Amino acid sequence: MAISAEDLRALIDSGVPDPTLVLVEGGVRTVRADDLDTDSYRGSLVLISRDELLDRLDGRSDASDAELEIIAATVSTGAETLGG
């Protein structure tokens, strides 16, 4: 499953409190970190939280598509390594 710059942009712009990008049932979703312990998301693969993403961007939420593509490739590789 390839993570895209659009997935990361949606994570940054999400109105969900404490959003986290996860891989669940073959798809990428943005969910509240608190929801990860619910039956719906238990066992999902956590890809990256908004806080982690913003740390990689030195706190900037206005990242370019090129910057997000690089991070998306890294997150995709990590997911594939973990079996996502």
Give the separation between CA 32 and CA 79, rounded to whole angstroms: 19
Pair of tokens at residue 34:
């608190």
| Closest among 15, 13, 17, 12 to 34, alpha carbons compared | 17
The pTM of the full predicted model, rounded to 2 decimals, is 0.88
Reported as a pLDDT band with limits 50, 70 and 90, residue 77 is: confident
Q: Is 63 exposed, middle or buried (0-12, 13-18, 19+ CB in 10 A)?
A: buried
Domain spans in the chain, listed from the N-terminal domain onward: 5-81
| Closest alpha carbon to 17 in 44, 42, 51 | 51
Mean pLDDT (the chain) is: 91
pLDDT of 79 above 80: no
Q: 28-67, pLDDT tens digit by residue?
A: 999 999 999 899 888 889 999 999 999 999 999 999 999 9
Does the structure show a pLDDT above 70 at 1?
no
**What distance in Å separates the CA atoms of residue 25 and residue 39, rounded to the nearest whole number?**
13
